[in-house]
A = this chain, B = another copy of it.
Amino acid sequence: MKPTLQDVANAVGVSRSTVSNAYSRPDQLSAALRHRILDAARQLGYPGPNPTARSLRRGFVGAIGVLFTSQLSYAFTDPFAVRFLAGLSGAAERHGAALLLVPLPADPALARTAVENAAVDGFCVYCAGDEEWALEAIRGRALPYVTTAVAEAAHPAHRYVGIDERAAARTVAEHVAALGHRRVALLGDTVLPDTPPGPLRLAGPGDVPHPTTRGRLAGFADAFAAVGVDWSALTVLNATGNSRAAGAAAVAATLTGDAPPTAVLACSDVLALGVLDTLAEAGHRLPHPVSVTGFDDIAEAAAAGLTTMRQPAEEKGRIAAELLLEPPADPAAGHVLLRTDLIVRTSTGPA
């Protein structure tokens, strides 16, 4: 079998502790002996202290867990998530912390044990709406955690970095309203679960389960209410996934119907790009008869001329990591609200 600390100790004729010190606390032994030990280790093919055993004894691991409550591969498919991870990994790198990407089985019970079995010192939970069970499991392990969305009635240990979804969405909608649009559609991913793509009847934004989508729809509604357009006059479109194709599918029938909206406000850039795809296929070029807005300001948005609400993706990731790796003394500092900026491009114009 592979050699252990003890084998090296035997070979050199010293105690296990001394070999351990040779690796982890060089100041505890003479340089000469340390060299002898390291040489012997090399000869024996000893690769250094076993990381698992070390973690067990030391009580910490040196890795933070990253949880995507939807599919893990989503993390690499969604441009915003990728930029978030870029920021996260940069900060982790600076702290020498590794990132453990934990895949979650579809079965909730199994998913919970996946969270309980992850060897990490803390968790970053990328919010997908339904994550309370995950947070509960994390708290059960008494590990620190950060979420990527504002939590209203947060548990004291709950740290987060997010934006004011509702206010940001309201700003987008105010821009659209100011351009004179009154017949508008709001487009979101999984506005209601298990619902086909296309228009949806909703009593109000409060009925939307996903908090981020709920906040954004509410913000859109706020702005239109302020100019006299009631919630019931707004069309809500449901997309079955956060992808261009899903966005296109959700909006298709509505755009070709009679009395199509003059503006479509999407809850994400990816969905908005899907809308632009549909318009482009119908032969429309910018500026369109239909104004379109997105959310997040991903790289593709600029190229497509998409008006959108920018949120600092990399910074969000960086701060999430820092909240875990250098925990603020003041608990209030554990709640970070990021700035957002309306980026007006060519996809919006007068009604």
Contacts and interface: CB of A to CB of B under 8 A. Distances in A.
Interface of A: 2, 45, 47-56, 61-63, 71-73, 75-77, 82-83, 85-86, 89-90, 92-93, 96-103, 105, 113-114, 116-119, 137, 140-142, 303
B117 A51 contact: yes
Given A76-B86, A92-B103, A47 B116 contact: yes
A100 B48 CA distance: 19
A79 B250 CA distance: 27
Nearest to A114: B96
Count chain B CB atoms within 10 A of each CB in A2, A119, A142 and give the residue with the most.
A119
A315 to B, nearest CB: 13
B83 A76 contact: yes
20 contacts: A51-B116, A51-B117, A51-B118, A51-B119, A52-B55, A52-B56, A53-B56, A55-B119, A71-B93, A72-B90, A72-B92, A76-B85, A77-B86, A82-B82, A92-B103, A96-B103, A96-B114, A98-B102, A98-B118, A99-B100
B103 A89 contact: yes
A232 B62 CA distance: 51
Nearest to A95: B103
A179 to B, nearest CB: 27
A92 to B, nearest CB: 6
Contact of A76 (B82, B117, B119, B142): B82
Given A47-B141, A55-B119, A72-B99, 13 more contacts: A48-B117, A50-B56, A51-B118, A51-B119, A52-B52, A61-B119, A71-B93, A72-B90, A72-B93, A76-B82, A76-B83, A98-B100, A98-B102
Nearest to A83: B76
Contacts of A72: 89-90, 92-93, 99
B113 A48 contact: yes
A138 to B, nearest CB: 9
